[in-house]
Amino acid sequence: MDKVKFTAMKDGDAADYAMLDAHERDYATGTAKRLLGALEGLDESLSGYQVTRLGHSLQAATRAWRAGADTDWVVAALLHDIGDIFAPFNHDEYAAAILKPFVREQLTWVVEKHGDFQRLYYAHHTGGNPHARDRFKDHPYFQDCAEFCEAWDQSSFDPEYASLTITDFAPLVEAVFARTAYDPAVIRAGERVALADAAVAADRAGAAPHTPGG
């Protein structure tokens, strides 16, 4: 493998940085594969629930898919807890940072804040503030996050639920992370897209997302 000539970045030249840029672009093409591998690692994280974190993630994404959610929503549901292994105290921010260059602004905000919104369901049992989300009540994506948590996050701990697999979702993850980073046509700042679409859900009944779309 080629290597730069410098040992301090300030000593690099154009050729060094052109070579590094090429290597980094090539490495970035493997992001989806690495994330899918990290997702498998969630099977070993945080015991005590009736499902593993991987099971929870797959269940949330499956609920999103079956609700007729678009690709961004499904991938966000799948990866929303990807930070649990390496960032247990800010896993929501960790996941949002991974998604941010490749999905709508709406999704980044929802994933980043979902930890506060989830407190509604349990914090009154643990001495915390179940209304932590209220400080965001005037935010345009507030209701989207509330719905995300209610429909797909807090409800996805059921060991009897028939979830789809990582393999089923892999084409969607690959499609999202193959996008041009920070493309305004993808970020769509300020735009809201509904979480559910009844017509799309009806078309998907009994199907798995083997091809990107929706």
Question: Which CATH number belongs to the domain containing residue 26 in this structure?
Answer: 1.10.3210.10
For residue 1, is it within any domain? no
Indicate the average pLDDT of the chain. 93
User: Is 2 within 8 Å of 147 (Cβ atoms)?
Assistant: no
What is the predicted pLDDT for the residue at 45?
64
- Nearest CA among 37, 36, 63 for reference residue 176: 36
Residue 19: both structure tokens together: 């070579």
Report whether 75 contacts 47 (CB < 8 A): no
pTM as predicted: 0.92
Number of domains in the chain: 1
Q: Compute the distance between CA of residue 44 and CA of residue 23 in angstroms, rounded to an integer.
A: 32
Answer whether residue 214 is part of any domain: no
CA 67 to chain centroid, in Å, comes to 17
pLDDT in tens, 162-213: 999 999 999 999 999 999 999 999 999 999 999 999 999 999 987 778 654 4
* 168: in domain: yes
What range defines the domain where residue 143 resides? 13-204
Whether residue 8 is contained in a domain is answered as no
pLDDT tens sequence across 4-59: 999 999 999 999 999 999 999 988 899 999 999 999 888 876 678 999 999 999 99
User: Using one digit for the tens of pLDDT, what is the confidence trace for 86-111?
Assistant: 898 999 999 999 999 999 999 999 99
26 within some domain: yes
